[in-house]
Each structure stands twice: as structure tokens, then as C-alpha cells.
Amino acid sequence: MIVNPFRYSAPVGGDDLVGRGAELELLQRTAEEGNNSRLVAPRRFGKTSLLRQLVSEARSDGWEAVYVDFFGVLTLADVAARIERAYRRDLSGVAGRWFDGVRRTLQSVEVGAGPISAGVSLRPGAAALQDRLDLPRRLHERHGRRTLVVFDEFQSVLATQDEVDALIRAEIQHHGDAASYVFAGSHVGMMRELFGDRRRAFYAQARELELPRLDPEAAANFVVRRFTDTSRDPGTALAPLLELADGHPQRTVLLAHGLWELTPAGTAADEATFAEALTQVMTEQLREFEGTWTTLAVGQRRVLTRIAEGVSGLYAGDAPGGRSGSNRTAVRALADRGEVVPERTARSGYRVVDPLLALWLRSGRPQTWPAE
Ligand SMILES: Nc1ncnc2c1ncn2[C@@H]1O[C@H](COP(=O)(O)OP(=O)(O)OP(=O)(O)O)[C@@H](O)[C@H]1O
Ligand SMILES: [Mg+2]
């Protein structure tokens, strides 16, 4: 059986990764120099896919490489546990055996386990975290191995305690020869707070890398190749698909997946096939759109819709002086969440990141698709 070649719900790598060669190269070069990077991009732009690829190539280049996902951490103990789990999973060979031995010497991550010595003002979990952050230095000292450490969803650590970033930086700042770090996150505002605020520990500590939308030609080649490899032709559906997806990585793949489903082997899709595929995809996304909508304040809903509609004069409602600035505040909040990004060519000066959400907003936020 030939299976649908488009994977839209899990990180992709190897042949499935479209473009990203330049970004990969920059991340590799920065790590090689002993410097750190940060990768900031909206949800589903392919951060994790790129990072996994980076990890796999780093290993081939002779690094140890550890990928840690901080999504959902609530305490310092959680942070410590995530790091430990990543080392256990990602180190093998000499380094893996070294880690098996070292693990036993680490402070327990169980909160409240063991007596906390008097006079130590560390919060629960802090000592355990420090121990785990120190691992690359010890590995380097013992075996001369360099480690590439990837911290994905790094902004999540802000949920654990005040100044957690200071604690982390204090541990890793002397790792120049032992380790290089890549910090990634999808909450643009929190990442900016961590790395762009002079008062924070990580201020200017990592080279920023943005993840752009997919190059249209690369996206087209990818879709055509996957269809051709599976005895199908995207035909005249290709143009409207690429136009709607507009370089959004996951949306491109999701729409291609939907189109492929409706294209029997040995045939070519057309515009009618695309319209049908779009209906199915939109129908499946309605709950997600409604979920996003529900979490927004009323002012944010209004501004987001105006951006989706491509109107000019986003701040028209903001009277100079008085209760001014509310639309500005809403735009800022939406940008921090990664729902909108500045766009020079748009009349509003912004674009909605997710083209399918934008379509739903423009279409009057219907509860069924197409709208009745
Ligand atoms: N470079 C790419 N080439 C092809 N598909 C991609 C690419 N980047 C992302 N995708 C598509 O987007 C989906 C999501 O990718 P990924 O999980 O890497 O994104 P992410 O930015 O880490 O998302 P999240 O913010 O949800 O963690 C993948 O399943 C894949 O379909
Ligand atoms: Mg991710």
C-alpha cells in the first residue's frame, strides 16, 4: 500500500525537510565557534524539525548532542528531570557509559528528598538542576567530548521561578570549550524578554536566528516530487495550494496531505480537488480556530480580524491621548504570542502567521465550513 507521504503532525527530517540548509549551516558554524544561538519562530514553523536535524548532523560530526524539550515544566525539579532524561536517551557509547556512572552521583530531583543543608538558600530542585547543567563540563573534562545542547521551548522555564535564567546562565556560562547551546522557543514575547532585556541574565548571550517561511520554489518542488513519487500529479491544484499556504511550513504540508488523499493513483488533481481538500482541512481545523479565538481578549480579536482582512489604519480606533493605544497594545500582545508578525507589504503592517486561521477570520468566523 502506498501511504500518504505528507507528515504534518510530527517533526520531520532528512528528505522531508524543505530548505533550511542555510539555517542549519549557521547553527553549526555558531556551535563550532563555541557560541550559542537562539531560534525564535511562531508555532509549527519547523523549529523542532530543524533542531532534530541539527542534533543528528552534529553527531555525525563527532559531537555529543542532547535535545531537551522544556514544554510544560512547572518546577526546577521538572527542568532538572527533563535534562537528565535527555542525557539518558541521547548519549551512547563511551559518553553513554560515562553517564550511567555519573547519574548516581547527581543530587536527587525528588523535591524534599534528602536533607537540605542549613544555610543553603537554594530552592527545592536548584541543586539538582545545577548538577545536571554541569554535565557537559564534566564530560569534557573526563573524555574531551564537546556537547551540543539544544533547549527547545526554552521560554517554558520562566514558569518555574523568578530568575531561573540567572541560575541557568551562572552554570553554563563557562562551557565555552565543553558545550554550545541552542535555545529555541515559539513564544516570541517571552523569548524576547529572556534574551532582549538588558536586565536579564541571557541578554545578548545568543546569536538570534529567525526561521523564515518556506521558499515558494522549494515548497513547490517538494509537493510535486512527493506526488510524483507516489504516482500522482498535483496538477492545477498546486498553484492555489501554494498561494493559500503562503510558505507556512505546516500549513503547506497539511494542505498537500489533504489534496493527496483526494487524488487517486495515476490521476492529476485540479482546482475542484483543491476546493474539496480545503473544505476538509478547514472543517478539521475549526475547533482549533475557535480555541484560539476564545483565548483572545475582545480587542485582540478585533485587531486580529482586521489584520486578516488586510485593512489599513489598524490604529484608527486609538484616539491620540486619552484612552489611546488599546489597539497598539492588542497588536503587541498578538505579536508576543506569535499570532501576527510585522509585514512591510501588508496595508496593516502585519500578517496573520497562520494562513488558514486568516482565511477563517476573513470569512466571518463560521462554525461550519464552508459558511452556511
Ligand atoms: N522545513 C520544513 N519542511 C517541510 N515540512 C516542514 C518544515 N518545517 C515544518 N514542517 C511541517 O510542520 C510541522 C511542524 O514542524 P515542527 O514540529 O518541527 O515545528 P515547530 O516549530 O517545532 O512546532 P511547535 O511550535 O508546535 O513546537 C511538521 O510536521 C511538518 O509537516
Ligand atoms: Mg517544536
Residue range 222-235, pLDDT digits in tens: 999 999 999 999 99
Whether the pLDDT of residue 63 is over 70: the answer is yes
C-alpha 48 – ligand 2 centre gap (Å): 4
Q: How many CB atoms lie within 10 A of CB 58?
A: 23
Residues 178, 264, single domain; the answer is no
- Measure CA 214 to chain center: 15
Residues 189, 64, single domain; the answer is yes
Residue 8 covered by a domain: no
- Which atom of ligand 1 is least distant from the CA of 253? 31
Residue 77 covered by a domain: yes
Indicate the residue among 195, 210, 225 that finishes a domain. Answer: 210
Residue 47 covered by a domain: yes
Whether the pLDDT of residue 282 is over 70: the answer is yes
Query: pLDDT digits over 108-164, tens only?
Result: 887 554 455 544 456 778 999 999 999 999 999 999 999 999 999 999 999 998 889
Residues 161, 226, single domain; the answer is no
Residue 203 covered by a domain: yes
Cα distances (angstroms) measured from residue 366 to each of 297, 369, 372 = 19, 7, 8
Residue 121 covered by a domain: yes
Residues 222, 191, single domain; the answer is no
Residues 48, 196, single domain; the answer is yes
Residue 10 covered by a domain: no
Q: What CATH number is given to the structural domain containing 141?
A: 3.40.50.300
C-alpha 149 – ligand 1 centre gap (Å): 20
3-state secondary structure of 283: helix
Indicate the residue among 210, 245, 272 that finishes a domain. Answer: 210
Q: Is the CB of 48 under 6 A from ligand 1?
A: yes
Residues 288, 144, single domain; the answer is no
C-alpha 150 – ligand 1 centre gap (Å): 16
3-state secondary structure of 133: helix
Number of domain units in the chain: 2
Indicate the residue among 157, 192, 210 that finishes a domain. Answer: 210
Q: Is the CB of 237 under 6 A from ligand 1?
A: no
Q: What is residue 117's predicted lDDT score, i.e. its pLDDT? A: 52
Over the chain, what is the mean pLDDT? 92
Domain extent at residue 190: 20-210
Please name every residue paired with 64 in a beta bridge, in sequence order, or none if there are none.
147
Residues 197, 330, single domain; the answer is no
Residue 42 covered by a domain: yes
- Which atom of ligand 1 is least distant from the CA of 45? 21
Residue 372 covered by a domain: no
Q: What is residue 151's predicted lDDT score, i.e. its pLDDT? A: 97
Q: Would you say how long the chain is, in residues?
A: 372
Which residue stretches of 262-325 are H helix?
Answer: 271-295, 298-309
Residues 176, 284, single domain; the answer is no
Q: Which amino acid is at 345?
A: T
Residues 52, 177, single domain; the answer is yes
Query: Of all residues in the chain, what percent carry a pLDDT higher than 70?
Result: 95
Please name every residue paired with 179 in a beta bridge, in sequence order, or none if there are none.
147
Residues 225, 176, single domain; the answer is no
Query: pLDDT digits over 340-367, tens only?
Result: 999 999 888 999 999 999 999 999 999 9
- Which atom of ligand 1 is least distant from the CA of 10? 29
Q: Is the CB of 6 under 6 A from ligand 1?
A: no
Residues 145, 277, single domain; the answer is no
Q: Do 8 and 257 form a contact (C-beta atoms < 8 A)?
A: yes
Q: What is residue 326's predicted lDDT score, i.e. its pLDDT? A: 87
Residues 141, 221, single domain; the answer is no
Ligand nearest to the CA of 152: 2
Identify the burial level of 169 via C-beta atoms within 10 angstroms of its C-beta, where 0-12 means exposed, 13-18 middle and 19 or more buried: middle
